[in-house]
Amino acid sequence: MFFRGQTIGKYRILSSLGSGGFGVVYLAEDTWIDKKVALKVPHKQNLDSVEMLKEPRLLASMSHPNIVTVLTAEKQDDVFFIVMEYVPGETLEHIIVQEGILDLTRALDFSCQICNAVDHAHRAGILHRDLRPGNMLVSESGMLKVTDFGTSRYLEIAAHGTTVIGSPPYMAPEQFHGKAVFASDIYSVGVTMYQMLTGTMPYDTPAPADIARLARGELLSSPRIRNPKIPKAINDIILHAMAPDPIERYQRASELLNDLLAAREPAPRRASRRGGTATADATVAEIQSRLKARETPPARFCWHCRKPLHARADRCPFCNESQ
């Protein structure tokens, strides 16, 4: 729709960044402040203003380092477009295609950042419905940002999203029936984790005849079968996130995040003791641990590297800075 060197209002088109089912994204320069931005031009330009402004309004309602920032929305020369921050780097999909199986530490880093973004969106009542590596931008510094909220919706009135929307390889079973809920986004995160740690999808794109088998969990195999180096704790977390029944999945991204951060922390050493007192102490410690787990506060970020922290961590597992 735009071409290189074209000027739209105050924006000069530099190149095309990519095209998807809902629009084309261009790299442009804001000539007023000499800043690079991303312009998203929806394919459908004949919608009413309320529908056109849906995505920018959703993005404007959120402010999070792991979610792409919307700057404004404009209409110039009868062309509507969304102006967003430009994230120099690559999509997570491109990284997986180029590298195959990602290093465990790096994959968990990306997973934690995705969880932070999803948790923030869900707390704002926003269901993404199309979470996949192609909609995740990774900056040159390793910061991951979730983008493309064009398929998102608020879950304020309806109990679930009633439209069949998403990318089939990443869709939860209930999404194929137009019953997307917050746990559906968690399923998509689980598929993304599976892909990062095995270099492959958990199963082929489900055909209509496969939906019932998908809902029964018959298409899913353990990621450790494809990559034995995956720790059992991480393997179990992925399978929990991809449980076929949404009730059996993580209900909140913060729950998934806390389990990921706990799994990557070294297990505390326990002093060896004998007798009934030791057994009693161990029982009390276990009860106290469970009680504390139920009181887990929201996840937070390291002051130094801005990476996600475990709820009670006093030291960042990424940069080792005290909090």
Helix orientation angle between 104-123 and 182-198, rounded to the nearest 10 degrees: 170
DSSP state of 1: -
Contact 140, 87 (CB under 8 A): no
Same domain, 220 and 132: yes
pLDDT for position 316? 73
Average of per-residue pLDDT across 96-102 = 96
Number of domains in the chain: 2
Same domain, 66 and 147: no
Distance CA 315, CA 266 (A): 13
Last residue of a domain, which of 85, 119, 134? 85
Same domain, 30 and 151: no
Same domain, 54 and 171: no
For the stretch 101-120, pLDDT in tens is 999 999 999 999 999 999 99
Pairing of strands 308-309, 11-19: unpaired
For the stretch 29-65, pLDDT in tens is 999 999 999 999 988 888 888 778 888 888 888 889 9
Q: Is residue 129 part of a domain?
A: yes
Same domain, 125 and 222: yes
Last residue of a domain, which of 264, 283, 300? 264
Q: Tell which residue, 112, 128, 144, has the closest CA to residue 301.
A: 112
Same domain, 63 and 170: no
Same domain, 134 and 245: yes
For the stretch 138-174, pLDDT in tens is 998 999 999 887 555 554 434 444 454 557 889 999 9
**Does residue 308 carry a pLDDT above 80?**
no
Helix (H) or strand (E) holding 145: strand 144-146
Q: Tell which residue, 241, 240, 253, 242, has the closest CA to residue 123.
A: 253
- What does the mean pLDDT of the chain come to? 83
Q: Which tops the pLDDT comparison, 181 or 287?
A: 181
Distance CA 49, CA 289 (A): 52
pLDDT for position 282? 54
CATH number of the domain that residue 167 is part of? 1.10.510.10
Same domain, 48 and 182: no
Q: Is residue 18 part of a domain?
A: yes
For the stretch 86-95, pLDDT in tens is 999 999 999 9
CA–chain centroid gap for 59, Å, is: 15
pLDDT for position 164? 44
Q: Is residue 99 part of a domain?
A: yes
**Does residue 189 carry a pLDDT above 70?**
yes
CATH number of the domain that residue 52 is part of? 3.30.200.20
Tokens representing residue 255 in the block: 């729950």
Residues 6+ apart with CB under 8 A from 179: 160, 161, 162
Q: Is residue 206 part of a domain?
A: yes
Same domain, 143 and 230: yes
Last residue of a domain, which of 61, 85, 109? 85
For the stretch 193-225, pLDDT in tens is 999 999 999 998 888 888 888 889 898 999 999
pLDDT for position 12? 96
What string of DSSP letters covers 5-20?
T-EETTEEEEEEEEE-
Average of per-residue pLDDT across 118-145 = 92
pLDDT for position 166? 53
Q: Tell which residue, 228, 233, 246, 265, has the closest CA to residue 186.
A: 246
Average of per-residue pLDDT across 73-86 = 92
pLDDT for position 304? 64
Same domain, 97 and 148: yes
HEC string of the chain?
A: CCCCCCEECCEEEEEEEEECCCEEEEEEEECCCCEEEEEEEECCCCCCHHHHCHHHHHHHCCCCCCECCEEEEEEECCEEEEEEECCCEEEHHHHHHHHCCCCHHHHHHHHHHHHHHHHHHHHCCEECCCCCHHHEEEECCCCEEECCCCCCEECCCCCCECCCCCCHHHCCHHHHHCCECHHHHHHHHHHHHHHHHHCCCCCCCCCHHHHHHHHCCCCCCCHHHHCCCCCHHHHHHHHHHCCCCHHHCCCCHHHHHHHHHHHHCCCCCCCCCCCHHHHHHHHHHHHHHHHHHHCCCCCEECCCCCCEECCCCCECCCCCCEC
Q: Is residue 140 part of a domain?
A: yes
Q: Tell which residue, 70, 101, 66, has the closest CA to residue 85.
A: 70
pLDDT band at residue 253, thresholds of 50, 70 and 90? very high
Average of per-residue pLDDT across 81-85 = 93
Distance CA 6, CA 284 (A): 69
Contact 221, 198 (CB under 8 A): no
Distance CA 108, CA 114 (A): 10
pLDDT for position 84? 92
Same domain, 241 and 103: yes
The residue from 140, 218, 255, 321 that is catalytic is 140
Q: Is residue 229 part of a domain?
A: yes
Whole domain around residue 67: which residue ranges?
11-85
Q: Is residue 162 part of a domain?
A: yes
Q: Is residue 134 part of a domain?
A: yes
Same domain, 42 and 94: no
Instruction: Please say if 140 is a catalytic residue.
Output: yes
pLDDT for position 205? 84
For the stretch 256-305, pLDDT in tens is 999 999 987 665 554 444 455 555 555 455 545 544 444 434 556 676 66
CB neighbours (10 Å) of residue 116? 24
